[in-house]
Amino acid sequence: MRATLSAILLTLTVAHLPLPASAAKLASRTSDPMADVRTWPAGTPVAARITVYPRHGDVGRSSGVSSKYRPQLRFHGGQELTCELTLPGQDALIEPGATGDAQITCNEPFKTHKDSPGFQVREGGRVVGEGRVTIPQP
| pLDDT averages per 10-residue partition of the chain, 138 residues | 40 40 45 71 95 96 96 87 92 94 94 86 95 79
What's the confidence (pLDDT) of residue 33? 55
CB neighbours of 87 closer than 8 A, spacing ≥ 6? 65, 66, 67, 93, 94, 100, 101, 102
Encode pLDDT of 92-122 as tens digits.
Answer: 999 999 999 999 999 999 988 877 789 999 9
Give pLDDT, residue 28: 43
Q: Would you state the pLDDT for residue 9?
A: 38
- For residue 27, the number of C-alpha atoms closer than 13 Å in the C-beta half-sphere is 16
Distance between CA 83 and CA 121 in Å, rounded?
10
What is the rounded CA–CA span in Å between residue 106 and residue 129?
17
- The pLDDT score that the predictor gives to residue 113 is 82
> What angle do helix axes 21-31 and 2-14 make, rounded to 10 degrees?
110
Q: How confident is the model at residue 138, as a pLDDT?
A: 59
Q: Considering the domain 38-133 in this protein, what is its CATH number?
A: 2.40.30.10
DSSP state letter for 36: G
